[in-house]
């Protein structure tokens, strides 16, 4: 999208020069006289400043004259682009003492600022200009009081308004302020000492020292300060050739592009960029282009975290996330199925079937395996007994049980047998002797 172009139809300027149809860029400056709207605030904004007005309210400044000073301050405020991000304004009032009426951090709109100026009262004693500049350095040009950090490169400016000669040493203080990067403008009124104004002001003196004969005409200086602080907004005039965005830059401009576009080497036109190209995004897993920008997503089995960039594995075994019949096992963003003991996973990798625990290789019984629901027990063949390990078998030892009564009979029979045996042995011995 081109920046706003301003076209003018052929017309004769007040100085008789001719304005032709075309961009404002090709218009001569004289043609602005024909079209006052081209020289409004839209085309000329003061550059951002941290600006302090230091006004003399010593006894030599009569009350009605001090009112003129306040009118000058209000008109100056009207010419400034006041705001928190543009020009910040502070006002200090001094005589033999110094009063900070409001620092840079207090007001960011013109109405409130002008209202505060209207209530300023003169101090009416002495002219301690050096003390006022020193106070500005020490107490107002600080970040706590609203001065922006040095990294922002915002100019620090002081405008001193006085009608007398300083009653303290202003030269050293002013030099210190200038060395610190503070630009000083000095406005002298009526009886002001011109040498003192030159001592305190920044170089070049012809741009920083002003003099008016009376407070009644001081407000006429506002137009000069407006021109001094003005930065022509080329972008507002349409005097640029940027394809998308024009950025005003101290009387010139730079081109920029919308998000999702990159400035081409010609520094004017823009091309869409691959926002998902390596290094252009901060997605943890998946980058998806989205209308000049991008959104992040995650692989299957992962969920996008609250930062909308990183991913975490989801619990795939949570109820409703899997189709395993018995056992679900999480597996780095996915899952696999398994079965309880005594079951085996079917070919579909989801369901389970009971297994024959007495099949060869599934049990450790030495002789006989007996199925027992989803488990088994061991047994032995006839003539064998199961060992304590409940797995192996040993041959059985048979024995007859003898009662006590039978035991007595056995002992009697044994005794009788012994007695008979003894008699037979004795008879045998006698028979042998007889034969001899």
CA distance 294 to 278: 13
More confident residue, 253 or 248: 253
- Helix axis angle, 63-79 to 221-229, nearest 10°: 30
Given a contact cutoff of 8 angstroms between Cβ atoms, the answer to whether 227 and 210 are in contact is no
Name, in order, each residue with C-beta under 8 angstroms of 309's C-beta and a sequence gap of 6 or more.
Answer: 282, 283, 284, 296
> Residue 216 has what DSSP assignment?
G
Closest by alpha carbon to 268, among 297, 290, 292, 245?
245
Beta bridge partners of 376: 371
> Where does residue 392 rank: exposed (0-12), middle (13-18), buried (19+ CB within 10 A)?
middle
- Per the structure block, which two tokens stand in for 227? 């021109």
Polymer length in residues for the chain: 436
> Where does residue 196 rank: exposed (0-12), middle (13-18), buried (19+ CB within 10 A)?
buried
User: Residues 167-195: pLDDT tens digits?
Assistant: 999 999 999 999 999 999 999 998 889 99
For residues 208-218, one letter each, b for 16 or more C-beta atoms within 10 angstroms of the residue's C-beta and e for the rest, the string is bbbebeebeeb
Compute the average pLDDT of residues 96-118: 96
Say if residue 399's pLDDT is above 70. Answer: no
Closest by alpha carbon to 209, among 231, 240, 186?
186
> Where does residue 414 rank: exposed (0-12), middle (13-18), buried (19+ CB within 10 A)?
exposed
CA distance 162 to 170: 13
- Per the structure block, which two tokens stand in for 354? 């009971």
- Per the structure block, which two tokens stand in for 30? 């004289």
Name, in order, each residue with C-beta under 8 angstroms of 339's C-beta and a sequence gap of 6 or more.
Answer: 325, 326, 327, 345, 352
CA distance 293 to 231: 34
Say if residue 221's pLDDT is above 60. Answer: yes
Where does the pLDDT of residue 332 fall: very low under 50, low under 70, confident under 90, or very high at 90 and above?
Answer: confident
Give residue 402's pLDDT: 52
Q: Is the peptide bond before 204 cis (omega within 30 degrees of 0)?
A: yes
More confident residue, 318 or 236: 318
Give residue 231's pLDDT: 64
Report CA Rg, the chain. Answer: 54
Which of the given ranges, 81-85, 120-124, 139-143, 397-401, has the highest pLDDT on average?
Answer: 139-143
> Residue 136 has what DSSP assignment?
I
Whole-angstrom CA distances from 133 to 20, 317, 394 are 51, 74, 115
Q: Which of 82-96, 157-171, 185-199, 292-306 has the lowest mean pLDDT?
A: 292-306
Say if residue 415's pLDDT is above 80. Answer: no
């Amino acid at each position: 999208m081109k920046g706003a172009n301003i076209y003018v139809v052929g017309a004769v300027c007040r100085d008789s020069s001719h304005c032709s149809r075309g961009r404002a860029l090709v218009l001569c400056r004289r043609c602005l006289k024909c079209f006052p709207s081209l020289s409004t605030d839209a085309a000329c904004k003061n550059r951002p400043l941290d600006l302090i007005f230091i006004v003399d309210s010593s006894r030599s400044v009569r009350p009605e004259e001090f009112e003129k000073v306040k009118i000058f301050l209000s008109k100056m405020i009207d010419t400034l682009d006041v705001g928190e991000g543009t020009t910040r304004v502070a006002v200090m009032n001094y005589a033999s003492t110094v009063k900070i009426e409001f620092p840079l951090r207090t007001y960011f709109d013109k109405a409130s600022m002008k209202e505060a100026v209207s209530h300023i009262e003169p101090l009416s004693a002495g002219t301690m200009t050096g003390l006022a500049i020193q106070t500005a350095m020490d107490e107002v040009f600080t970040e706590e009081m609203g001065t922006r950090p040095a990294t922002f490169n915002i100019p620090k400016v002081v405008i001193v308004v006085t009608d007398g000669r300083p009653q303290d040493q202003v030269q050293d203080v002013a030099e210190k302020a200038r060395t610190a990067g503070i630009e000083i403008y000095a406005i002298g009124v009526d009886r002001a000492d011109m040498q003192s104004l030159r001592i305190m002001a920044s170089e070049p003196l012809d741009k920083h020292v002003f003099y008016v004969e009376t407070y009644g005409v001081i407000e006429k200086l506002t137009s000069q300060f407006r021109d001094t602080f003005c930065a022509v907004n080329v972008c507002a005039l349409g005097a640029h050739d940027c394809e998308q965005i024009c950025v005003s830059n101290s009387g010139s401009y730079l081109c920029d592009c919308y998000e999702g576009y990159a400035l081409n080497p010609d520094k004017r036109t823009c091309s869409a960029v691959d926002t998902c190209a390596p290094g252009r995004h901060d997605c943890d897993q998946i980058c998806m282009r989205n209308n000049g920008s991008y959104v992040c997503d995650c692989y299957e089995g992962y969920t996008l975290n609250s930062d909308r960039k990183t991913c975490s594995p989801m619990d795939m075994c949570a109820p409703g996330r899997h189709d395993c019949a018995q056992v679900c096992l999480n597996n780095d963003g996915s899952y696999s199925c398994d079965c309880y003991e005594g079951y085996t996973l079917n070919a579909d990798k989801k369901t389970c079937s009971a297994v024959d625990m007495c099949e060869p290789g599934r049990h450790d019984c030495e002789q006989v395996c007996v199925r027992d629901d989803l488990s088994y027990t061991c047994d032995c063949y006839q003539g064998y007994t199961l060992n304590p390990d409940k797995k192996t078998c040993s041959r059985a030892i048979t024995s007859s049980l003898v009662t006590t009564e039978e035991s007595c009979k056995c002992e009697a029979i044994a005794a009788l047998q012994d007695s008979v045996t003894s008699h037979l042995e004795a008879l045998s011995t006698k028979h042998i002797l007889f034969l001899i």
